[in-house]
Amino acid sequence: MCETLDNAIKYGLDFINKGNTASYIPELRKVDPHQLGISILQSDGSSLSSGDYDRKFTIQSISKTVALMLALMDRGQEYVFDKVGMEPTGDAFNSIIKLEIRQPSIPLNPMINAGAIAIDSLIEGNDINHKFNRLICFFRKICHNDSLWYNEKVYLSEKATGFRNRALANFIKDSGVLEGEVEEVLDLYFKQCSIEIDCRDIAMLGAVLAMDGISPITGKTLISKNICRIVKTLMVTCGMYDASGEFSIKVGIPAKSGVGGGIMAAVPGKMGIGVFGPALDKKGNSIGGIKVLEYLSCEMDLNIF
Q: Provide CB contacts within 8 A for 282, sequence distance 6+.
A: none
Indicate which residue of 150, 155, 241, 295 is catalytic. 241
Cβ count within 10 A of residue 235:
27
Residue 276 β-bridge partners: 37, 262
> Could you tell me the smallest distance in angstroms from the CB atom of residue 122 to ligand GLU?
18
Would you count residue 35 as binding ligand GLU (CB under 6 A)? Answer: no
Q: Is 60 in the site for ligand GLU (CB under 6 A)?
A: yes
Element at 238 (helix H, strand E): helix 225-238
Comparison of 189 and 295: residue with beta carbon closer to ligand GLU: 189
Count other C-beta atoms under 10 Å from residue 2's C-beta.
Answer: 9
> For this structure, is 31 an active site residue?
no
Under the binding rule (CB under 6 A), the answer on residue 41 touching ligand GLU is no
Nearest CA-CA partner of 28 in 202, 262, 263? 262
Q: Which is nearer to ligand GLU, 94 or 303 (CB)?
A: 94
| 56 catalytically annotated | no
Residues 159-198, interacting with ligand GLU (CB under 6 A): 165, 193
Please, which residue, 49 or 60, has the CB nearer to ligand GLU? 60
Query: Phi and psi for 214 in degrees, rounded to 5?
Result: -95, 130
Whether residue 275 lies in the annotated active site:
no
Does residue 61 belong to the site contacting ligand GLU (CB under 6 A)? Answer: yes
Smallest gap from residue 221 Cβ to ligand GLU (A): 29
Q: Is 61 a catalytic residue?
A: yes
| Using rule CB under 6 A, residue 244 touches ligand GLU | no
Site for ligand GLU in 78-137 (CB under 6 A): 93-94, 113
- Per-position DSSP letters for 23-51, written without gaps between them: TTSHHHHTS-TT--EEEEEETTS-EEEEE
Taking the complex as a whole, how short is the minimal distance between the CB of residue 196 and ligand GLU, in angstroms?
A: 13
Closest to ligand GLU by CB, 89 or 113: 113
76 Rama class: left (phi>0) / alpha (psi -120 to 50) / beta: left
In which element (H, E) is residue 55 found? Answer: none
Q: Any contact of residue 259 with ligand GLU (CB under 6 A)? A: yes
* Residue 123 CB partners (closer than 8 Å, separation 6+): 67, 70, 71, 74, 131, 134, 135, 188
d(CA 117, CA 89): 16
Q: How far is the CB of 259 from ligand GLU (least distance, A)?
A: 4
Among 27, 52, 120, 158, binds ligand GLU (CB under 6 A): 158
Q: Which of 64, 173, 232, 291 is catalytic?
A: 64
Catalytic residue among 185, 259, 267, 292: 259
79 is catalytic: no
Whether 180 and 223 have beta carbons less than 8 Å apart is answered as: no
Return the DSSP state at 212: T
Closer CB to ligand GLU, 61 or 297, in the complex:
61
Distance in angstroms (rounded) separating the CA atoms of residues 229 and 235: 10
**Least distance CB 77 / ligand GLU (angstroms):** 24
Task: List contacts with ligand GLU (CB under 6 A).
Answer: 60-61, 93-94, 113, 158, 165, 193, 258-259, 284
Residues noted as catalytic: 61, 64, 189, 241, 259
